[in-house]
Amino acid sequence: DTGVSQNPRHKITKRGQNVTFRCDPISEHNRLYWYRQTLGQGPEFLTYFQNEAQLEKSRLLSDRFSAERPKGSFSTLEIQRTEQGDSAMYLCASKDDDQPQHFGDGTRLSIL
Amino acid sequence: AQKITQTQPGMFVQEKEAVTLDCTYDTSDPSYGLFWYKQPSSGEMIFLIYQGSYDQQNATEGRYSLNFQKARKSANLVISASQLGDSAMYFCAMRDQSSASKIIFGSGTRLSIRP
């Protein structure tokens, strides 16, 4: 069990640029989640995959956000035309049936 | 609507003392699960303990125990014999049957252990 891996750990970019984050879940976990956490708050759910199918999306996930899990293994989260308000920690979690969600270390995004 | 409330933004506790972190929740679903996660300054979310709504006994994991009072809709975390390494943010979270996928987090409590 190597844990959930997220890359990069930190991303600094200018407003208006596109960014992409990657999440590698624990290998046998079929469910994968993305959350966003702003300073002083708990994580907020963004989206959820079971295998390669995206089964749920939060209203927080505007049309500038897209997530994929093409082969049911790793996932990417892309933000297009970044805005100041996108600055946050983006957390990925994975789980198997009847198990708690295991989180990665997150990607901290800073928009200049 | 599901909601998690943590009313203690911050707490200071002397090392080796026990500490209780408060959590109340709201859901209309009879089947749900409650979680506590720890988030050190490094950022990772560490799963601590889980309580199912139908579990007869309060959950325990080492120094962590969950004081589950269903009628009051509270799920307080008790840490016994606190250690310096317990200093972190602590989040209470809930999953219910209406949304079996996602979990809803509270706003967290920052726990600081004094030596």
The alpha helices in chain A, defined as continuous H runs, are none
If you average pLDDT over residues A82-95, what whole number do you get? 95
At residue B92, the pLDDT reads 97
Return the DSSP state at B28: S
Is the Cβ pair A43, B47 closer than 8 Å? no
* Neighboring chain B residues of A102 at a CB cutoff of 8 Å: 47
Bridge partners, residue A34, by sequence? A47, A92
For B31-79, give the DSSP string.
SEEEEEEEE-TT---EEEEEEETT-SS--EETTEEEEEETTTTEEEEEE
| pLDDT at B9 > cutoff 70 | yes
* Neighboring chain B residues of A103 at a CB cutoff of 8 Å: 37, 44-47
**Cα A45 from Cα A94, distance rounded (Å):** 13
**Cα A83 from Cα A19, distance rounded (Å):** 11
At residue B97, the pLDDT reads 66
**Cα B108 from Cα B106, distance rounded (Å):** 5
CA dihedral sign of residues B34, B99, A89, A112:
negative
If you average pLDDT over residues A83-87, what whole number do you get? 95
Q: pLDDT band at residue A1, thresholds of 50, 70 and 90?
A: low
Name the closest residue on chain A to residue B94, using Cα atoms: A100
Is the Cβ pair B104, A45 closer than 8 Å? yes
At residue B100, the pLDDT reads 61
Which of B37, B25, B85, B23 minimizes the C-alpha distance to A103? B37
Name the closest residue on chain B to residue A4, using Cα atoms: B44
Q: pLDDT band at residue A59, thresholds of 50, 70 and 90?
A: confident
Is the Cβ pair A89, B43 closer than 8 Å? yes
Q: How much of chain A exceeds pLDDT 90, in percent?
A: 81
Return the DSSP state at A104: -
If you average pLDDT over residues A56-62, what whole number do you get? 87
At residue B99, the pLDDT reads 67
The structure tokens listed for B18 are: 């026990």
Can you say whether residue B43 is alpha, beta or left, with left for phi > 0 and alpha for psi between -120 and 50 degrees? left
For the segment A11-51, what is each residue's pLDDT rounded down to a tens digit? Answer: 999 999 999 999 999 998 999 999 999 988 999 999 999 99
| pLDDT at B30 > cutoff 70 | yes
Residues 6+ apart with CB under 8 A from B71: none
At residue A28, the pLDDT reads 86
For the segment B49-100, what is each residue's pLDDT rounded down to a tens digit? Answer: 999 999 989 999 999 999 999 999 999 999 999 999 999 999 999 987 666 6
Backbone angles phi, psi at A56, to 5 degrees: -150, 140
Q: pLDDT band at residue A2, thresholds of 50, 70 and 90?
A: confident
At residue A33, the pLDDT reads 95
Q: Count the Cβ atoms, other than its own, within 10 Å of residue A95.
A: 21
**Burial class of residue A48 in the structure, from the number of CB atoms within 10 Å of its CB (0-12 exposed, 13-18 middle, 19+ buried):** buried
A73 to chain B, closest Cα gap in Å: 17
A30 to chain B, closest Cα gap in Å: 12
* Residue corresponding to tokens 């079996």: B100
The verdict on whether omega for the bond into residue A8 sits within 30 degrees of 0, i.e. cis, is: yes
Best mutation target, A29, A32, A45, A110, to test chain B (most B CBs within 10 A)? A45
